[in-house]
Amino acid sequence: QVQLVESGGGLVQPGESLRLSCAPSRRLSSTADWAWYRQGPGKEREFVAGIFSGITLISETIEGRFTVSRDNANDTMYLQMNSLKPDDTGVYYCNVRELPDTYWGQGTQVTVSS
């Protein structure tokens, strides 16, 4: 079993930036896929960004404002979020697929409000 711990959420004003981190409780396989999802108030959980077999994918709804990366040295995934909008408000979840298992973090709250 793997625990994923997200951090970096908070309350920011529109236009500001945040960087989220996701760290696993043990080192994961180099073939694992990593992703960020989010769930806004009254909305379904949606894909934000991820790294799949070394290929980075970003949801089109993000419009180029976010960047996903992973630090191999400390096995941590990051989500750099710039030009945040109120619609970005929600709980952000880390997801890792290390076949045959899939793991979810507990989520970190991001609130964008003036």
Q: Do 79 and 49 contact (CB within 8 A), yes or no?
A: yes
* DSSP at 29: P
Task: Check residue 26 and report its DSSP letter.
Answer: S
Residues 6+ positions from 100 with CB-CB distance below 8 Å: none
How does pLDDT run along the chain (114 residues), one tens digit per residue?
899 999 999 999 999 999 999 999 999 998 999 999 999 999 999 999 999 999 999 999 898 999 999 998 989 999 999 999 999 999 999 999 999 999 999 999 999 999
